[in-house]
Chain A
Amino acid sequence: MNTQELSPVMIKNSEPARVAVKRAASAGSDPNVVMDCRIKTLHYGNFLAVRDTDIPITPNEITAFIGPSGCGKSTVLRSLNRMNDFVNGFRFEGSVHYRGQDIYAPGVDPVAVRRSIGMVFQQPNPFAMSIFKNVAFGLKLNGFKGDYAERVENALRGAALWDEVKDKLHTSGLSLSGGQQQRLCIARAIAVEPELLLMDEPCSALDPIATRRVEDLMLELKEKYTIAIVTHNLQQAQRVADKTAFLFVDTTAGGRTGYLIEYRPSAELFEDPREERTKAYIRGEFS
């Protein structure tokens, strides 16, 4: 319902946004796009993993990346905070503008980029330390000098975990259940108040109840943050995402290259897909 109300606005916004971003590169930041992802080619060694994928991510919305396995949706997400830099042979052509800068421009420090972008992984991955220290980790990294207890509490409240852990903040983060661990990871990510939160299939290791809690949480979080999420669960994209990008895998050249088919408000994409491939995928003809 929410998405339908918003969708007319977004259609209006999406085109001017692209134009505006070209200006943004020189003139600063554009309020309608948090991160302007324009991938021309993305290689791992000689392997072309992703091509021609432009996804402007709009503020205070949830953008979902969907598509068949191997379509590069996680790769695209990971290129938004330069996590692909850890893969040998990674090469990127294109640009990802964030806060008015291309994060792939020469001289950009990927570590600095990652500090201002939160990331939640497929597998819950709390550190082997107390719940409190897990959440405080990013604050410490950023040299935060204020009230740690307050920030940790806020982050845990923000991740809807506070009530469950407030009496055992000093027990290990690993002692929590899978769903709680994932919310702990979300708390850890939002403790530093990043503008953008990247989530790579955050619910795929969770049971349906924990999944629902994380989805509800995402809807709350988008009031303050912008979220990009990779999901293989179409219902999930429909339930939470304001916009959805459908990627497909091109095997014609003998490789497996992912590329963007269409990127539109979720309500439109799911109810009235423009492209045949999107239609087929949504109908469940392949996965």
Chain B
Amino acid sequence: MTPMARHSTKSTNKTVQNSRDPALSRNLTIALAGNANVGKSVVFNHLTGSSQIIGNWPGKTVERAQGMLNFEGRKIVVVDLPGIYSFSTFSMEEIVSREYIAFEHPDAVINVLDASVLERNLFFTIQLIEMEVPLVVCLNQVDVAKQKGITVDVKKLEQALGVPVVSTVAIRGEGIYELTKTAVKVAENKSQNERPCLKYGIEVEERIEKLAQAIKSENVASGYPPRWIAIKLLENDPEIKKSMSSKSEKIVRESEVLAEEISRMHKEQCFAVIASERYALANGIAADVQKQTITKTTLSERLDWIATHRVFGYVTSTGVIVGLLLWTFTIGGLLSSLLSNALSFLQPVNPAFNGSLVGILWNGIFGGLVAGITLVIPYVVPFYLMLAMIEDSGILTRVAFMMDSAMHKIGLHGKALIPLILGYGCNVPAIRACRIMETKRERLLAAFAITFAPCAARTILILGLVAAFVGAGWALALYAIDIAIIFVLGRIALKIIPGQSTGLIMEMHSFKIPSFSVITKQTWARTKSLIYIVFPTYIAGSVLVQILYAVGVLKPMSDALSPLTVTWLGLPAITGILLILGVVRKEFILLASVAVFGSTNLALFLTPVQLITLALVGILYIPCLSTIAVLAKEFGWRTAAAISAANFATALIVGGITFRLLSLVL
């Protein structure tokens, strides 16, 4: 690999680089940037050996991830930035990436490209070059491109861009070593980074330069390169405009005049002129460096034909949505009973217990541990396995495509289905994934819907209370009610929550054959993080029940709640305490009822109607503590409180009605 392809292309080049000396003792920082779903996370995992979640759908890296790499004696910090198409619109990911690159000054940026969609990817590369960062281009997925009959001339691309280019097949680790070597080289000599200036059309270019000069002479660039600021001002970027107007009104006014000139000349708004010309640049480069031969239809395209077909598409989509639930439901139930049989000798939980403190603690810890192993692990592992497979294949975007019109009924578009499906597993990551939605309102609507999604904990409740003691049919009915509630409340929320919704704009990536190692790694990473949260809370919670029981405060607490539990919901008074504990984690309702009633056969203590009502109220009445916390983090405490209140009200209304109706039937 030639170090820093230096350029003879005629250019009025200026080496504007931050002049920090590459001290050898210092850790290098290398950032990964690029379009959504081009394989940044795959490269990241290869470099750092960590297991950042990978998914074949755009937007799963919402926050930047960090990892360490030891490369030939050097310590390198690797940063995985969220995938974006441009630095221009104001989605959260774009701002995260752009500020990171401008202000944290990574020593090198690896721009990962999807070789099979070169032109579109180069549109972003050009913007990185405009940011004047020390750059290495990683031409990834050359194998996928080859299947599509596309070959890219790496040397030519290097020349056109003026930055080193390494071609890789990241999923198989091909080219990663060379990529790292090149990136380190670039990071170490970043001051000599010199490249041809990619120029816009003359009318635009003249004005960019004029404005950049003005910015330079006023000295108001604030971390970003002047030329980049000039382009952004001409594009009317609201963020940059705001920050500039506080520094120099004159520059902003001048940019407006220049933009007006451009738009008058082209009879087109200035931001559109710039986007068009940037694409013309990308198109020119792509046409120059790639060769396209005609090939036969790939497997991916044939699968795509089925997955988006007007009939089969719905079949596959429903298959994914329902299949994932059923799979979890059946395999989970099977594993759970196997495990609890195997561990039955370990069930010494005796709640009518008045022993020493040590005894209480021991009992609690034991109960918690057993509950975790028999209730959570069997459901979560199969779910995460299947989810990883679904995510990795790329079918999720097709489901989103097919279900778009249905999601419109609750004010969301198809993409919202992706976090909703993640919500089957656990609401917390699902609510974070809502950031793939464009507007705040859509994020809020999606998050609200997710707080009702049948997560693993709710599945456990439904299985443990209803499927086990009433019947599988009733358990499925509860799922149906839950989904109906999501729909009805979604419509109500749509009326209440103000703001705008955008429509669906989503890239549909090629199908991939899920890789075994990715799936297992991913499942393990997710299970591990759940174990860290679940087991301590279980054990602590279980100990708490024991202590409360021993101290004797359970009865007064549940008595205080009896107007709700006994009168309105028709449940035994003691369930009040279950619901209080269930706030921490929903499975506690099941776990604690075993402790409170002193038997695993709950049918002895609760009628079928009570079991169903308890499960229904249990799944609806409040998002668990972790979910409330993530809601507060994403939307603020007031919103989190409002959503929780809505959940509580829904549970009371639905629970009360169900109790009365079921009493007539059962």
Q: Do A and B come from one complex?
A: no
Task: Give the interface of B toward A (CB within 8 A).
Answer: none
